[in-house]
Amino acid sequence: MSAVLPSGAVDTRAKRPARGTRRAPPPRFLTTHVEPALEDRDGGASPRDPRTEIRTERARTILSTNTSPDVPFERSLNPYRGCEHGCIYCYARPTHAYLDLSPGLDFETKIVAKQNAPEVLERTLRRRGYEPKPIALGANTDPYQPAERTLGITRRVLEVLDAFGHPVTVVTKSTLVLRDRDVLGRLARRDLAHVLVSLTTLDGDLAHRLEPRAAAPRRRLAVLERLAQAGIPVGVLVSPVIPAVNDGEIEALCTAAKQAGARAAGMILLRLPREVAGLFEDWLDTHLPARKERVLSLLRQARGGRLDDPRFGHRMRGGGPYATLLRDRFRTVRRRLGLARDLPPLSTAHFAPPSPSTEASCRQLSLPILGDESL
């Protein structure tokens, strides 16, 4: 990956797997839309292999809060906007429209890095009256996507949390999390860290088509195993469950994760908010055309006749006989394998702002452990 210039955008690796989508639907907030020249048009698609641009941002605030009753955290931190993994189903894609960028190809090729996230986090944690509660890393986009290898923002965030004794949960599909198992291990020994690995399928070919730049399934299982061996509590997210695509793998996914060291398991039904629905339908046309109507029919059965139901209590679970069957299967296999619904609660008892000398040391980025090249 190229070094990031202070002035802004750079190109990253030229040779990477295919993109999740070639389509670039316009951002919904723009009042004007630029049409490509006739000779540049390709069925509304974008260039076949555009390079990734890393753009930098100076964040003024860094913690997001929510009161959603169906989300298991109140605070989250996202070091990056957009995600190079290119998962076609990603529910975060519509957020790129707030940057006047496309939720399609732009979401996975124009990544915004919050370079000052660790410093803003330090200031936040030092505020008078701050009350510690677990912070979720990766609630929107993966904190260990390829840009992290060079920028190290997530690592520096973890070092700040380690210095302050602050609890954190990490959700990822990347083997790069192994690079940080030293700091995650220190946090875990004080009941301050969990890691959840998202696992969609055990079929490597299907995974490549659904999540073209995320780690292969076998490598994610290796991540679970190595983090568990390091004493870090790990769980698996069987997510998303896609009707007639990977719904037959629920039992196999839970079993493989348990064997790798997972202590808990969660499941989320496919969500298709806003522009994601159209992108996913295009994906079905390309990769599973014969199954398209079956997939969408089952999803509508679980979503009240629509492709997405954003209501609290419904958006993660769905409703109706099909969704109930999925939940029953999941609960049965989780009970049989001894997988908990949630990992043990994280502690807030260790929270204490460090002295200035310690605070300065936690700003120094160190990368002492191998990344995903070893897997």
Identify whether 227 is part of a domain: yes
Identify whether 370 is part of a domain: no
Residue indicated by tokens 């510690």 = 132
- Report the domain count for the chain: 1
What lies within 8 Å, CB to CB, of 298 at 6+ separation is 243, 244, 322
Identify whether 367 is part of a domain: no
Separation of CA 197 from chain center: 9
* CA 95 – CA 114 distance, rounded (Å): 15
DSSP for 249-286, written as a single string: GHHHHHHHHHHHT--EEEEEE----THHHHHHHHHHHH
Task: Kindly report the backbone phi and psi dihedral angles of residue 165, in degrees, each rounded to the nearest multiple of 5, phi listed first.
Answer: 65, 45
What CATH number does the domain containing 297 carry?
3.20.20.70
Please, are residues 160 and 360 in contact by the beta-carbon 8 Å criterion? Answer: no
In the chain, the DSSP E strands lie at 53-57, 64-65, 75-77, 80-81, 110-114, 135-137, 168-172, 193-199, 234-241, 264-269
Over its length of 375 residues, how does the chain's per-residue pLDDT go in tens digits?
A: 333 333 343 333 334 458 998 888 888 777 655 555 544 444 444 455 688 999 999 999 999 988 776 667 789 999 999 999 999 999 999 999 889 999 999 999 999 999 999 999 999 999 999 999 999 998 889 999 999 999 999 999 999 999 999 999 999 999 999 999 999 999 999 999 999 999 999 999 999 999 999 999 999 999 999 999 999 999 999 999 999 999 999 999 999 999 999 999 999 999 999 899 999 999 999 999 999 999 999 999 998 888 887 766 666 667 899 999 999 999 999 999 999 999 999 999 999 999 866 554 555 545 444 445 456
**Could you give the 3-state DSSP secondary structure of residue 41?**
coil
Q: Could you report the per-residue pLDDT of 105-123, keeping only the tens digit for each?
A: 999 999 999 999 999 999 9
Identify whether 302 is part of a domain: yes
C-beta atoms surrounding 254 within 10 Å: 24
CA angle 92, 93, 99 (to 5 degrees): 105
C-beta atoms surrounding 97 within 10 Å: 20
Q: Could you report the per-residue pLDDT of 61-110, keeping only the tens digit for each?
A: 999 988 776 667 789 999 999 999 999 999 999 999 889 999 999 999 99
Domain of residue 139 covers: 49-343
Please, are residues 330 and 339 in contact by the beta-carbon 8 Å criterion? Answer: no
DSSP state of 55: E
Residue indicated by tokens 């202590």 = 263
Identify whether 30 is part of a domain: no
Identify whether 364 is part of a domain: no
| pTM for the whole structure | 0.86
Identify whether 195 is part of a domain: yes
Identify whether 363 is part of a domain: no
